[in-house]
Amino acid sequence: MLDNYLKECLYFTSSRLSRIVTKMAEDEFAMSGLSPTYAYLLMAVYDKEGISQKELSGILHLKPSTVTRLIEKLNSKGLVYSIVEGRMSLIYTTEKGKNLEKTIHECWMNLRRRYRDILGEKEGDELTLRLDKISDQLENKD
């Protein structure tokens, strides 16, 4: 009964999907010793050494305070350091951080392979892009 109502609610279905996929991602990234979000942040720093937290917040679609917290932790793990420049703090990877790059990339691909195997390659990729577009739509209209 109610079951049917729930699967017609975007809050319900998107939360559920996110929980499932997060679990998957955590599994796949476990070998890097990082939760997926931390790994992604690191990827963003590989991509642009000296990136600011503001930029990171924009790329990762996370609130600045969240980014601060993530960096705190990556820093305490010795994977990242920051240089304060004026009011900004710029983020760089340490040697130890750089050493993780290959592993993280591998995890990334494993995750992708995993859901593609279940959903189909086309379907998986198409869904992913669609969710991105939907998010854009929902964010710009408010």
Partner DNA sequence: AAGATTTATATGTATGTACAAACAATATTA
Partner DNA sequence: TAATATTGTTTGTACATACATATAAATCTT
Interacting span for its own copies (CB under 8 A) from 4-12, 69-77, 80-88, 90-98: 4-12
Binding flags for DNA, 21-60, as an x/- string (CB under 7 A): --x-----------x-xx-------------xxx--x---
Least separation in angstroms between residue 132's CB and its own copies is: 4
Least separation in angstroms between residue 70's CB and DNA is: 6
Tokens for 96, please give them.
């130890």
By a kind-dependent CB cut-off of 5 to 8 A, residue 69 interacts, out of its own copies, DNA, none, with DNA
- Give CA–CA dist 139/142, Å, rounded: 7
Q: Can you name the residues that pair with 52 across neighbouring β-strands?
A: 90
Residue written as tokens 């010793």?
Answer: 33
Residue written as tokens 């739509």?
Answer: 137
Residues comprising the chain, all counted: 142
